[in-house]
Amino acid sequence: MVGGVGLAAGLSVLGSEILSTPAESSTVSPFRHGVASGDPLPDAVVLWTRVTPTEQSLPGSGRGPRVTVRWEVALDEAFTDVVRSGAVETDATRDHTVKLDATGLAPATDHWFRFTYGEAVSPTGRTRTAPAPGSTPERLRFGVVSCANWQAGWFSSYRHLAERGDLDAVIHLGDYLYEYQPGKYSYGHRNEDVRRHDPPREIISLSDYRRRHAQYKTDRDLQALHAAVPFIVTWDDHEVADGSWAHGAYEHQAREGSYAKRARAARRAYDEWMPVRISGTAVVGDGRRIYRRLQFGRLVDLSMLDLRSYRSKRVAETDPAIDDPGRTITGEHQLAWLSGNLATSPCRWKLVGNPVMISPVTVPPRPAAEEFALSQTVSLTPLRSSAPNTDEWDGYPSDRRRLLSRVESDGTADVVFLTGDVHTAWANDVPGPTGGIVATEFVCSSLTSNNVDDFIGARPRTVSLTLEAAIQAENPHVRFVNLDDHGHSVLEVTPARIQMDWYAVDDRRDPRSGSRRLASWAVKAGTARVEPVGRSLGA
């Protein structure tokens, strides 16, 4: 838990004008993309920024000099107690991003960090290290988010999370950015842009992906959250292309060139622009292996998955190949790694950062408009009677059966899947192969990306109410579902239970939108069954 750090930390990080002015940054500071931290360990954390040494050194330009950027980490915001410092060189080959592992830090401790280039000083960021391996924290809190489409609205949820002051980290489950061109899956059923993507086209090249990452990091609310709390991230499909799998993507066309080249470019830019250790290092490298494990004392073991880079191509729900044991969503190595993590963890709670839904869900026949709207969020293809969504774990039943059979046979308790992707909110009891409940799944809604009422063009909480009821009638293990609201979630973990609070923004088109609590569900240690909670976690 953040020790004595409240809203003031978020405000002082970027200055009060950042949280009161939603427009993209127009500052001439060389640190115009903010600062960030991520992947907290007991003794280390990744630090990130981007320097613009000249006005010609714009993101994706491939231009600009090689420069040296200095960094400092302190135990106080005034930097009177500096505990680590150093210097990093950067240039156009890494898009003038700066990413490093600050090591030798004290566990479970708030730290402040900043960068300098010449006479320029970056905004100050606050981060927090993980608890020591043998410790037993009384409480941890995480923000849980996914699916932030720039064109579909403002990122007010990031502001609300930054203002809390009680988070140990933010878990981002994918679709941190979108690859779309203007007018593609933007606001509502008319696809109107609330604000337009840069570059103004579908991104394909390394330069394109760098520019898109840069644009997202000019969002003031995202800058505020990055500067207030460390992120733990993974990618889903939109970081590369919609519907991606190991060797292609649903939205990638042959005229766009090699998919392999596009994927390498996208993941290289992601490695450069995100505060994450990829392939085990903070140093920008091959941009490949993002699945990894973080532990928070003996309370939380968090396995972050990659469910795009190794998966087999999606098949239709009626294709007999769907049950082929050779088809995979995780890849053989990642599945063995995850199964081993869950079986051997010394921690009370085994959390899984799971980009797509693992709970089985079928949908009964509905009117055409409802089926289309649900297909655009929970699936990519039109639904049929009692059809599963084959873009999720439902499309890879052999992998799911192998994983959950191991959980069941080992008697592994307190497994919780944290899921994004489907733009909607769910609390599920995860059934095992023999029918018993073996795990819990909490699914966060989208920050801005379209959900069911958006695609239908209906008023929120009208048409979707009957669809939600139909889903729950068909799937009794679905305890809560909301198909309409956009927002964020907060997860509290204690030795006795885990609680998830879902929050909805009032209007994603309003940069100053307020938010309200939608629901709270919890699971007690040793039970696996989720139950409604009448009281929120507070801040």
pLDDT of residue 157: 98
Confirm if 447 and 148 have CB atoms less than 8 A apart: yes
The better pLDDT of the pair 466, 241 is held by: 241
* 253-267 tens-digit pLDDT: 999 999 999 999 999
Confirm if 270 and 213 have CB atoms less than 8 A apart: yes
What is the full DSSP assignment across 255-316?
GG--HHHHHHHHHHHHHHHSS--BTTBSS--------EEEEETTTEEEEE---SSSPPPP--
Total number of domains in the chain: 1
* 271-311 tens-digit pLDDT: 999 999 998 887 887 678 999 999 999 999 999 999 999 99
> Is position 383 within any domain?
yes
pLDDT of residue 282: 79
> Is position 465 within any domain?
yes
Pick from 112-126, 185-199, 252-266: least confident: 185-199
Which range of residues forms the domain containing residue 345? 7-279+290-532
* 347-378 tens-digit pLDDT: 999 999 999 999 999 887 777 777 777 766 76
> Is position 50 within any domain?
yes
As a whole number, the mean pLDDT across the chain is 91
Q: Give the pLDDT band (50/70/90) at residue 107.
A: very high
Find the mean pLDDT for residues 144-148.
Answer: 98
* 477-488 tens-digit pLDDT: 999 999 999 999
Contacts of 135 (CB under 8 A, 6+ apart): 107, 108, 297, 298
> Is position 538 within any domain?
no
DSSP state of 444: -
* 13-46 tens-digit pLDDT: 333 233 323 334 445 799 999 999 999 999 999 9
Q: Give the pLDDT band (50/70/90) at residue 460.
A: confident
Residue 239, pLDDT > 80, answer yes
Coil, strand or helix: which one is 150?
Answer: helix
> Is position 463 within any domain?
yes
Residue 381, pLDDT > 50, answer no
- Angle in degrees, 0-180, between the axes of helices 332-344 and 397-410, rounded to the nearest 10: 20
Find the mean pLDDT for residues 114-125.
Answer: 97
> Is position 284 within any domain?
no
Q: Residue 38 forms beta bridges with which residues?
A: 46, 231
Find the mean pLDDT for residues 522-532.
Answer: 96
Residue 201, pLDDT > 80, answer yes
Residue 386, pLDDT > 70, answer no
Taking the chain, what is the end-to-end CA distance rounded to the nearest angstrom? 11
**Distance in angstroms (rounded) separating the CA atoms of residues 235 and 239:** 6
pLDDT of residue 25: 41
pLDDT of residue 539: 63
The better pLDDT of the pair 510, 462 is held by: 510
> Is position 210 within any domain?
yes
The CATH number of residue 32's host domain is 3.60.21.70
Pick from 8-12, 61-65, 316-320, 521-525: least confident: 8-12
pLDDT of residue 27: 52
* 490-516 tens-digit pLDDT: 999 999 999 999 999 999 999 999 999
> Is position 181 within any domain?
yes
